[in-house]
Structure 1
């Protein structure tokens, strides 16, 4: 699913950036080499960051 229409990146791109160490919205933009434009996608990016943090926490608990 496209998250940022201005820069053309998807939720997979965001998750990949998070897996590579990006921890915030600005880090996501930097990691993907895309400048923030209208910033409407920042809400969705924050949601994905929270979801991925939850997934990582659950995985650590299972270990």
Structure 2
């Protein structure tokens, strides 16, 4: 699904950039080599960044929790 119609950025691309280190809307656009246009996608990208970061944190925390 397209997240940013103006720049043709889809959800897979957003998730991949976050997994590769993007931590903000600006860093997602920078990683894609794009610049924001209308801003309608900001809320969705912000949510996706938060969700992906939380999922990655949970995965990295699981072994430590299991070891306790």
TM-score w.r.t. length of structure 1: 0.93
Q: Looking at CA atoms only, which structure, 1 or 2, has the larger radius of gyration?
A: 2
1:7-18 correspondence runs (5 A): 7-18=7-18
In structure 2, what is the Cα distance between the partners aligned to 1:33 and 1:45?
15
1:51 corresponds in structure 2 to 51
Runs of at least 5 residues in structure 1 that lack an aligned partner in the other structure: none
Corresponding residue for residue 21 of structure 1: 21
Distance 2:26 2:18 in 1: 11
**1:62 counterpart residue number:** 62
1:19 Cα deviation after fit: 1.3
What stretches of structure 2 of length at least 5 have no aligned partner? Answer: 64-68
Return the alpha-carbon distance in structure 2 between the equivalents of residues 35 and 51 of structure 1: 22
Deviation at 1:55, TM superposition (A): 0.4
TM norm structure 2: 0.87
Equivalent pairs counted in the alignment come to: 63
Q: CA deviation at 1:56?
A: 1.1
